[in-house]
Amino acid sequence: MGHSFFYLFCLLSFVGVCYGSYNAEQDRDRITQLPGQPKNVDFAQYSGYVTVDKQAGRALFYWLTETPASRVPESRPLVLWLNGGPGCSSVAYGAAEEIGPFHIKPDGRTLYSNPFAWNNLANLLFLESPAGVGFSYSNTTSDLYTAGDQKTAEDSYRFLVNWFERFPQYKHRDFYITGESYAGHYVPQLSQLIYERNKGIQNPVINLKGFMVGNAVTDDYHDYVGTFEYWWTHGLISDSTYHLLRRSCDFGSSQHPSAECKKALTVAEFEQGNIDPYSIYTRPCNSTASLRHNLRGHYPWMSRAYDPCTERHSVVYFNHPDVQKALHANVTGITYPWSTCSDLVGSYWADSPLSMLPIYQELIGAGLRIWAFSGDTDSVVPVTATRYSIDALKLRTLSNWYPWYDHGKVGGWCQIYKGLTFVTVAGAGHEVPLHRPRQAFILFRSFLENKPLPRS
């Protein structure tokens, strides 16, 4: 339901206050203009806070970029994007260097338009989650030390319920959830929560249609087997280290590596050398070493977050007071600077189930649209890990492995199963839309339209 229709409905119903009552809150969140923003921006933006726990003083920060007016945003779905970590910002990664409408120039002050922004196809909602990540905060300090999968899913669900009250024109709109990396946990878990709470509701407010995840942490056992195999088959480690890893690292029942496994992982890191493990064929940006985010606690092979120089620009830009003012961010005066990832939240992560596969089985049975994609130059959550996880679901193949094309060139490969579509993107690292923005755009369009990737 668009703004104009809703306003007309109010007038016809002689309830002139109904439009104004929700529009006042939206107007408060509306972004007039971002510092350094390009000229002639033809889409609406909103950002601000939604409280998810009044007693604890916990509030999550969001940024909505609507579809351009010429593409009729009222007719487009709403898509939530989540980044992982755990503890990393969807504003830093998804919005500022992947699928958002603006990317940041090296000066840390100026923005430029992303021609392959996903808001050309859908209304995009970026969420910094959980509290303690980015601009999201809690007035209860212990919240930062007790974050985990379950709490993150519950808070994200409360965020959505409250956000739809502020933006009722999006109620009942087709809704999808997307994300990457550790959002391989967030996305299916939140989808499951929405699905289960929608049961028995004839016309649910959150009209979830499906989800899509990229280079996603999915199942600890298969992720490890697939990761070690990727390192070996891509010449990153020796035969002996590969066999040592396979023998000493058993994560089928525990997330805590043994002393022998830790030693093997250290040897593997030494053998790999100074590469960017998140994009093994691109030059690492060593000058930003201070931005590396240690994730060894839960996934020891994640020695550092993806570290292109663009990450440095985000840290500069989002810490400018005028940028924060324009975004209606940091209204409580957070005592620490905005950062791309929170070491505190990630280091004290409370709960992390070993596998998402049971959730996949439940939601495939529920008929949700589910796609998984994988950049094939990522050695952190590599294509082999995802393929092993999907294979464990034992789904029937509807369309066998085939190359898909973009302007006559192979963009990657695809296999369609009953209940799940798997897509690879050739030459892309951990952040697929950063390395292959055009191919990622084609992938997203195919997902929304529920059409196979082009075969020619």
Q: Which residues are catalytic?
A: 181, 378, 430
How many CB atoms are located within 10 Å of the residue 109 CB? Answer: 15
What's the token pair of residue 210? 């499906």
> Mind giving me the DSSP string for 379-448?
SSS-HHHHHHHHHHT-PPEEEEEEEEEETTEEEEEEEEETTEEEEEETT--SSHHHH-HHHHHHHHHHHH
What's the token pair of residue 365? 């049975």
For residues 213 and 79, give the distance between their C-alpha atoms in angstroms, rounded to a whole number: 12
For residues 236 and 272, give the distance between their C-alpha atoms in angstroms, rounded to a whole number: 5
Range 52-86 burial, b when 16+ CB lie within 10 A, else e: bbeeeebbbbbbbbbbbeeeebbebbbbbbbbbbb
For residues 135 and 155, give the distance between their C-alpha atoms in angstroms, rounded to a whole number: 15
What's the token pair of residue 206? 């959150």
Which residue from 109, 105, 152 is spatially nearest to 133, judged by alpha carbons? Answer: 152
